[in-house]
């Protein structure tokens, strides 16, 4: 099983003498949605969509000869529900792909498949450059990821320009110039959807930005919010559960430092024989708590591993189990089992496993250039060891790995984020910001309405882009309400668009 040690853990365990590249792993720890067996059933992705490629330009923003190089960008399309272009002008729903294989996101965005029939929408899922099969420099990941010179074309701005270029070209091909486009995305994909609406209002009439922490930059929201929310998720389940986890970091350190201590840890946690260290074990546990908090969904799900409904509750149940007495490691092992071994298939846990089945590796570059999401702070009350957020750690890591300096203020400069309520109130329109408050990323989200058409939908019980997931018969009412509200809002955008379109000849004489 893959172990997802993220950049966000870079500073989590600051006692660590060296931060090896091994400790820094892929991913917006967010792209967490899961293929839902119910709807997909026996269907493979290939029955849900057709895979196509578009010849995309390498660099949209200057006219040096190298900029004119091209690459094959993948997109997935489903026209089963589409009402057609030409005189019908049926809508086009576009998923603005995030940092991974686009098929994985498509198969996990049931909301689009479920709402397409209502709107007779064409579905389009566009892969982000440098992920999946959309590799510049000849299509090989090795070459595209070779060094900073080749990776330099991997940025959110380029990705948005790719999406605009591809959408407009496809509309032309389909003779669907006047079909309205609505963009959708979760997590980083949600940030892209929101920014796309702001930067390309002539291409998209609206955006559903789910769990998009667009304010988690440049100290706009607190660097402590991410881990505070994880802390709250566990603490509100049980005070004992929180305390056991909080105390455990020191106990792991103490044990690791004793002669024979690593063998005790290996036995307690059923770690495979190949590799163990106290730091790796702490990262492995921290990853489990973080991802479990993010995916604290109300129904059983399947992302990296299958999880029960409300997995935080299940973890705390294991920790609070009276049968484990005072044995901290036995308790934590029980909790880790919920995340890493819910199917019961694991024979031992491999701390050295750095496999990346969804191809999220490019995020390390993005997190070293412009995606300086501040999530690493831990207060004295944190479930993780206390530490102050330090930009310097990121800086050093990025310098070592890529010999480049991060630009922590670029995203707010390019897309805006400071004083967003004031700024967008007079400028933006037609964006839904969904956030579930159990999701640690919600701390960097837009949680209040900005205007009548810039709407924040906040679900107290919700986790990371839970609204975009396929629906199930066990979904709670609050979740059904969220999705129904989103459908109503999108419907309003479209009616508004068609009204304007019907009258546009009056204004523009075309």
Token pair for residue 292?
């479990």
The DSSP 8-state label assigned to residue 467 in this structure reads G
Closest approach, Cβ 146 to ligand NAG, in A, equals 3
CB 248 within 8 A of CB 326: no
CB 78 within 8 A of CB 106: no
Question: How far is 252 from 258, CA to CA, in rounded Å?
Answer: 10
| Residue 348 within binding range of ligand NAG, rule CB under 6 A | yes
Q: Which stretch binds ligand NAG (CB under 6 A): 79-87, 144-152, 412-420, 424-432?
A: 144-152
Closest approach, Cβ 83 to ligand NAG, in A, equals 20
Question: Coil, strand, or helix at residue 126?
Answer: strand
Q: Which stretch binds ligand NAG (CB under 6 A): 191-199, 303-311, 344-352, 502-510?
A: 344-352
Question: Between 289 and 328, how does the x/- string for binding to ligand NAG read (CB under 6 A)?
Answer: ------------------------------------xx--
For ligand NAG, the closer of residues 176 and 437 by Cβ is 176
User: Looking up tokens 């092992």, which residue turns up?
Assistant: 333
Question: Between 361 and 400, how does the x/- string for binding to ligand NAG read (CB under 6 A)?
Answer: -------------x-----------xxx--x---------
The count of chain residues that interact with ligand NAG, using the rule CB under 6 A, is 29
Token pair for residue 468?
């975009």
Select the residue interacting with ligand NAG from 346, 447, 458, 487 (CB under 6 A).
346
| Residue 408 within binding range of ligand NAG, rule CB under 6 A | yes
Which residue is catalytic, options 439, 442, 465, 467? Answer: 439
Per the annotation, the verdict on 503 as an active-site residue is no
CB 290 within 8 A of CB 440: yes
For ligand NAG, the closer of residues 133 and 270 by Cβ is 270
CB 356 within 8 A of CB 26: yes
Q: How far is CA 298 from CA 313, 336, 372, in A?
A: 11, 19, 30
Short-list 65, 172, 133, 440, CA closest to 286: 440
Q: Which stretch binds ligand NAG (CB under 6 A): 141-149, 196-204, 356-364, 418-426?
A: 141-149
Closest approach, Cβ 372 to ligand NAG, in A, equals 6
Token pair for residue 300?
């059983």
Taking each helix axis from N to C terminus, what angle separates 278-294 and 261-269, rounded to the nearest 10 degrees? 30
Q: Which stretch binds ligand NAG (CB under 6 A): 123-131, 147-155, 233-241, 429-437?
A: 147-155
Question: How far is 183 from 203, CA to CA, in rounded Å?
Answer: 10
- Classify the phi-psi angles of 484: left when phi > 0, otherwise alpha if psi is within -120 to 50, otherwise beta: alpha
204 CB-near residues (< 8 Å, 6+ apart): 94, 167, 181, 182, 183, 196, 197
Closest approach, Cβ 468 to ligand NAG, in A, equals 24
| Beta strand 70-78 pairing with 122-126 | antiparallel
Q: Is the dihedral of CA 34, 39, 42, 43 positive or negative?
A: negative
What residues from 149 to 208 belong to the interface with ligand NAG (CB under 6 A)? 149-150, 166, 169-170, 173
For ligand NAG, the closer of residues 157 and 222 by Cβ is 222
Closest approach, Cβ 424 to ligand NAG, in A, equals 22
Question: Coil, strand, or helix at residue 39?
Answer: helix
CA 294 to chain centre: 10
| Residue 352 within binding range of ligand NAG, rule CB under 6 A | no
Q: Is the dihedral of CA 473, 477, 478, 481 positive or negative?
A: positive
Select the residue interacting with ligand NAG from 41, 65, 322, 344 (CB under 6 A).
344
CB 9 within 8 A of CB 23: yes
Per the annotation, the verdict on 358 as an active-site residue is no
Question: Between 242 and 281, how does the x/- string for binding to ligand NAG read (CB under 6 A)?
Answer: ----------------------------x-----------
| Residue 423 within binding range of ligand NAG, rule CB under 6 A | no
Indicate the residue whose CB is closest to ligand NAG: 344
Question: Which contiguous run of DSSP H or E holds residue 396?
Answer: helix 391-402
Closest approach, Cβ 317 to ligand NAG, in A, equals 15
For ligand NAG, the closer of residues 169 and 405 by Cβ is 169
CB 376 within 8 A of CB 12: yes
Question: How far is 9 from 222, CA to CA, in rounded Å?
Answer: 17
Closest approach, Cβ 120 to ligand NAG, in A, equals 20
Closest approach, Cβ 487 to ligand NAG, in A, equals 27
Select the residue interacting with ligand NAG from 37, 219, 268, 414 (CB under 6 A).
219
For ligand NAG, the closer of residues 218 and 354 by Cβ is 218
Question: How far is 82 from 102, CA to CA, in rounded Å?
Answer: 21
Burial class from Cβ neighbours inside 10 Å (0-12, 13-18, 19+) for residue 286 reads buried
Per the annotation, the verdict on 439 as an active-site residue is yes
CB 471 within 8 A of CB 324: no
Token pair for residue 334?
């029980």
For ligand NAG, the closer of residues 385 and 476 by Cβ is 385
Question: Between 89 and 128, how does the x/- string for binding to ligand NAG read (CB under 6 A)?
Answer: ----------------------------------------
Which residue is catalytic, options 26, 128, 358, 464? Answer: 464
Active-site positions read 187, 439, 464
Q: Which residues in this chain contact ligand NAG in the complex, by CB under 6 A?
A: 52, 54, 143, 146-147, 149-150, 166, 169-170, 173, 218-219, 270, 325-326, 337, 341, 344, 346-349, 374, 386-388, 391, 408
């Amino acid at each position: 099983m893959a172990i997802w040690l993220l950049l966000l853990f870079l500073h989590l365990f600051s006692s660590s003498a060296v931060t090896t590249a091994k400790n820094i792993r892929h991913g917006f720890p967010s792209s967490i949605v899961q293929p839902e067996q119910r709807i997909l059933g026996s269907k493979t992705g290939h029955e849900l969509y057709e895979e196509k490629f578009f010849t995309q330009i390498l660099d949209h923003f200057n006219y040096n000869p190298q900029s004119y190089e091209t690459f094959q960008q993948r997109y997935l399309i489903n026209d089963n529900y589409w009402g057609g272009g030409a005189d019908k002008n049926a809508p086009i729903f576009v998923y603005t792909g995030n940092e991974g294989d686009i098929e994985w996101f498509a198969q996990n965005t049931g909301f689009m498949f479920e709402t397409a029939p209502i709107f007779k929408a064409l579905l389009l899922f566009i892969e982000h450059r440098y992920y999946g099969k959309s590799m510049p420099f000849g299509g090989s990941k090795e070459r595209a990821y070779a060094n900073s010179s080749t990776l330099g074309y991997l940025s959110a701005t380029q990705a948005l320009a790719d999406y605009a270029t591809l959408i407009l070209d496809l509309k032309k091909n389909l003779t669907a110039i006047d079909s309205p486009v609505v963009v959708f995305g979760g997590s980083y994909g949600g940030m892209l959807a929101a920014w796309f609406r702001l930067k390309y209002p002539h291409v998209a009439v609206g955006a559903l930005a789910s769990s998009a922490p667009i304010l988690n930059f440049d100290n706009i929201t607190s660097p402590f919010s991410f881990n505070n929310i994880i802390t709250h998720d566990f603490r509100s389940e049980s005070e004992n559960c929180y305390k056991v986890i909080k105390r455990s970091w020191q106990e792991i350190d103490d044990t690791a430092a004793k002669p024979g201590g690593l063998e005790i840890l290996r036995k307690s946690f059923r770690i495979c024989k190949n590799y163990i260290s106290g730091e790796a074990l702490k990262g492995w546990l921290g990853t489990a708590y973080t991802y479990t908090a993010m995916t604290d969904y109300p129904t059983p799900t399947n992302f990296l591993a299958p999880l029960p409904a409300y997995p935080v509750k299940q973890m705390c149940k294991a920790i609070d189990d009276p049968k484990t007495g005072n044995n901290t490691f036995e308790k934590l092992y029980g909790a880790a089992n919920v995340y890493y071994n819910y199917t019961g298939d694991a024979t031992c846990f491999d701390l050295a496993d750095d496999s990346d089945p969804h191809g999220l590796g490019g995020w390390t570059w993005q997190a070293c250039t412009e995606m300086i999401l501040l999530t690493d702070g831990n207060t004295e009350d944190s479930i993780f060891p206390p530490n102050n957020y330090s930009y310097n750690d990121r800086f050093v890591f990025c310098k070592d790995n890529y010999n480049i300096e991060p630009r922590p203020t670029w995203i707010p400069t390019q897309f805006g984020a400071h004083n967003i309520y004031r700024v967008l109130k007079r400028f933006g329109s037609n964006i839904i910001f969904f956030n579930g408050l159990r999701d640690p990323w919600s701390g960097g989200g837009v949680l209040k309405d900005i205007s009548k058409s810039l709407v924040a939908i906040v679900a107290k019980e919700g986790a990371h882009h839970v609204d975009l997931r396929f629906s199930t018969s066990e979904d709670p009412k609050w979740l059904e309400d969220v999705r129904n509200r989103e459908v109503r809002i999108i419907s309003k955008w479209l009616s508004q668009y068609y009204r304007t379109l019907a009258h546009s000849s009056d204004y523009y004489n075309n």
